[in-house]
Structure formats: C-alpha cells, structure tokens
Structure 1
Amino acid sequence: MYLVIFDCDGTLIDSQDTILHGLSVGYEAVGLPMPDRRTALSIVGLSLETAFLQLVGAENAHLVPEMANAYRTSKISRRKLGLDLDPLYPGTRDVLDRLGARDDVLLGVATGKARRGVDHMVEVHDLGGRFVTVQTADTSPSKPHPDMVLRAMSETGAEPLRTAMIGDTSFDMEMARAAGAHAVGVTWGYHDRDRLRAGGAHVVIDHFDELYDALDARLAFDGEPA
C-alpha cells in the first residue's frame, strides 16, 4: 500500500490572499506594521503561533498569542459569511481522482492549518472521503517536525519508502525527510525551487500534471519503491 500525503496551502489550494488578510488582522490587533508580501508568505506551512513568532521575532513573542487569536477569529467569522473560498490549483482534482482510483494508494493531508480549516476546504471543494488520514496543527508540532507524517503512516500502516509528502515549502521537504518518506516539491506555492531543493526535495515539479509520473518514479507503483 502506498500513502500520498498533501500539504494544503500553496499545494492543493491557492490561499495567499486570505492568508495575507488574516496576517494583517493579526498585525493590526497589536499595532505592528505588516511586513512585505514575500516575507509574510514565507512562513506559510508553519503552525500559526510558530509562523507569527518567526515573523515578529523573539522580542515580540509576548504579542504572538493575541495575533494568532485575532487571525483565527477573523477566519471563523469570514467563513460564516461565505468568504475565504480558496480555489484549488489547476489540475488538483484530476490528480486526486487518478490517485484515488487506485486500490493500492491512500491519500492524506498534513498541514499547519487547524482541522476546521481542512474541513472547510473539503466541504467547499466537495472532497469528502478522499483523505483517509488528516494531520493538523491541532494535534502535532509545527512543521518541519516529522510528527504529522509519522502519525499518517502509523494510522494507515504505510512504510516510509512507500510514502510521499507533496508540498510547496522547505518545511514540507524537511518534514518528509525526517520521517524517512519521499519529498516531492511543487513550485506553484510559496518557496522556490532552490529553497525546496535545500530543504531536501527528492524531486521538484512545476505543474500538477507532472505529479503522477513523479510519484511513479519515486514510489515505483509497478514494482518495489525506489
């Protein structure tokens, strides 16, 4: 059995605008100036408190709880209003359909989002039943700690060499490597090719339609894992 785990933000869904809005609410709550767009988005993938701490620095660590609370409150309110409808990246559904049609492939999620954020994504895009394991910031340390991938493998019984983590950040690549899994980087998210490679990506792709072949090469669907 093979396990293919996906990150959410920057990998499955294009959530940059809603993330920036949430970050700006957090900064406004404590009266700090919002960083530039590239800097702000560089922390996507980390759990919320870890992300804010990396952005504001240890000298402002006391502000992080208030910033994170403001972000979460804003997200919950906007979703109740039918906002924050982050679109799937082109090709996402086709890949999920193709992989999900295989009896020997299980799909999972490992994300710095809260579980309610994943549930929202699944509901909005009608992805119910696709993911047999969902790992979030609610129950695991922030990436790049390997706990999310280790938990996903434990829940499904998958072996590391038959497991692949798909993500757009070096945090995903480092997490996968630390868990002994294959690390597949995608360039349409928040970290570029060089940073993905530096994080330990075994392979990097530029379009979702390249993913199936990349996974076949790494996992050797028709033979033993590479």
Structure 2
Amino acid sequence: MKGPIRLVVFDVDGTLVDSQKDILDAMARAFEAEGYAVPDDAAVLASVGLSLPEAMAQLAPDLDAAARSGLVSAYRDGFLTSARHVEPPLYPGVRDTLAALRARPELLLGVATGKSRRGLDHILVAHDLEGVFLSTQVADDHPSKPNPSMLLAALRETGAEACNAAMVGDTEYDIAMGRAAGFATVGVSWGYQPVDRLQAAGADVVIDDFAALPAALDRIWES
C-alpha cells in the first residue's frame, strides 16, 4: 500500500439511501400509536441524523422522558414494519462510486449512522452491501451526532489518522461531527437538509452528484 491509509465514513439516511418515505411513515405511526399529534414533515426531516432519543426530544420537547421512550420504541417497530414492504432505494451513483473508492488500495470505507445495529444490518443486507464498510458505527454504541465518538472509534478500528479521513453526510450533524473529530467534511445536496445549513456547519465542500465524490476527496486531500 502506497501512501497513508485514507478513510471515508458515510452517513446512511439521506446520504446513501433515500429513506424519507419510511422515516415519515414510521414517525407518523409512532406518534399516532402513542396518542400524540404528528409533527410536520419538515420538522421530522430536520431531526434525521440524530439518534432517536435526541430526535424525539427535539420533536416533542414538552413530553417527559418516559413518554419519549415510548415514542422511540414505537418508531423502531413502525420503521422496521414499513421497511419490510419496500426497501428504501440507494441514491443514483452510490453503488458505482463505492466500488470505485474500494478499488483504491489505500482507501477504507466506513459508516456512522443514527440507526440501530439492527436497522443498519437490514439496509446492508437488502442492498447487498455487506463487507463494503470496514467500520460500522451505530447509535446503539455511541452518543448521538454531533458527538465525534463514532468517528474516533472508526479511526481506532482502521488505523487511519483524522487528517486523512473524511465524513460524508447530508445534515449539519454529520458536518459538525466530522469537524469535531478533525475530519474533512463533504456535504451532499440531495439529502434532508438544505445546502446552506451544510455550509453554515462548515462543510469543506458540497457535492450535487455522488459520482463527484472521488474528485472532491482528491481535491481536499491534495490541498
């Protein structure tokens, strides 16, 4: 292997897979099942990227911890029920670009997601992505984004250094997490938060097409 180990860590929802429909459906089911008014779609999508307890605290700040815990359980049940029917699709270019990045001998791939281990495994199996990511960090094992715990664990697992690592995501939480860990940060414009929020959070670059990622990474690491 020539040169330093490079590490690229991806968010999942809104970055690799378009799970918007499933997220909105499961959130509506959860609030309805627990007898609360359903938050509007914009508020739900703005919470994507946070771990579920933090997302529920943002969406239902007036509820106590026990009530929010009930919402978390209802959401998980509803999401997996919904996901069993139609799998959320990969965004265009994801599969080909991941293959191109994996072909680079110095480059390793990882995931850092607010999903549970069960939820992430479901997505990886459904899209035949098992074995693609050397490091898979999930909400079960870490504080919520933007805490850098997931990315620091990915560095330990892969042996990469933060100066040779990049975080790719669609929310300000991804960008803030990456910056807190010392990673370069790449925002994607096709996800659940607008580009201006990614830029305000400090994204080094925002791309509009997944196929643009390899060149964007090269520019970042060559600068």
Q: Same fold (TM over 0.5)?
A: yes
For residues 90 and 167 of structure 2, the distance between their equivalents in structure 1, rounded to whole angstroms, comes to 18
Supply the AA of the counterpart residue of 1:10: G
Q: Could you tell me which residue of structure 2 aligns to residue 115 of structure 1? A: 117
Separation (CA, whole Å) in 1 of partners of 2:32 and 2:77: 13
1:23 matched to 2:47? The reply is: no
Q: 1:151 aligns with which of 143, 153, 160?
A: 153
Quick check: 1:69 aligned with 2:54?
A: no
Inter-partner Cα distance in structure 2 for 1:61 and 1:53: 8
Which residue number corresponds to residue 223 of structure 1?
A: none
| Aligned position for 1:163 | 165
Q: Classify the secondary structure of the residue corresponding to 2:141.
A: coil
- In the alignment, which residue of structure 1 is the partner of 2:174? 172
Q: Does structure 2 retain, via aligned residues, the 8 Å contact 1:29–1:66?
A: no
Between 1:50-59 and 1:170-179, the stretch displaced more is 50-59
Q: Show CA shifts across 1:164-201 (max 9, x none).
A: 00000000000000000001100100111110011111
Q: Are the aligned partners of 1:6 and 1:165 in contact in 2 as well (CA < 8 Å)?
A: yes
- Alignment counterpart, residue 45 of structure 1, candidates 42, 46, 49: 49
RMSD: 1.2
- Which residue number in structure 2 is paired with residue 138 of structure 1? 140
Shift of 1:128: 1.5
Structure 2 Cα separation of the partners of residues 9 and 171 of structure 1: 12
Structure 2: distance between partners of 1:94 and 1:77: 29
TM-score under structure 2 normalisation? 0.95
Corresponding residue for 1:207?
Answer: 209
CA distance, structure 1, for counterparts of residue 146 and residue 86 of structure 2: 26
Gapped runs of 5+ residues in structure 1? Answer: 221-225
**Shift in Å, 1:58:** 4.3
Tell me by how many angstroms 1:75 deviates: 2.8
Matches within 5 A, 1:86-101: 86-101=88-103
The Cα of 1:112 is off from its aligned counterpart by: 0.2
Q: Quote the Cα distance in structure 2 between the aligned partners of 1:154 and 1:15.
A: 29
User: 1:47·1:143 contact (CA, 8 Å) conserved in 2?
Assistant: yes
The alignment-based identity, stated in percent, is 49
Equivalenced residues, count: 219
Q: Distance in 2 between matches of 1:206 and 1:8?
A: 16
Runs of 4+ in structure 1 deviating by more than 6 angstroms, as ranges, are none
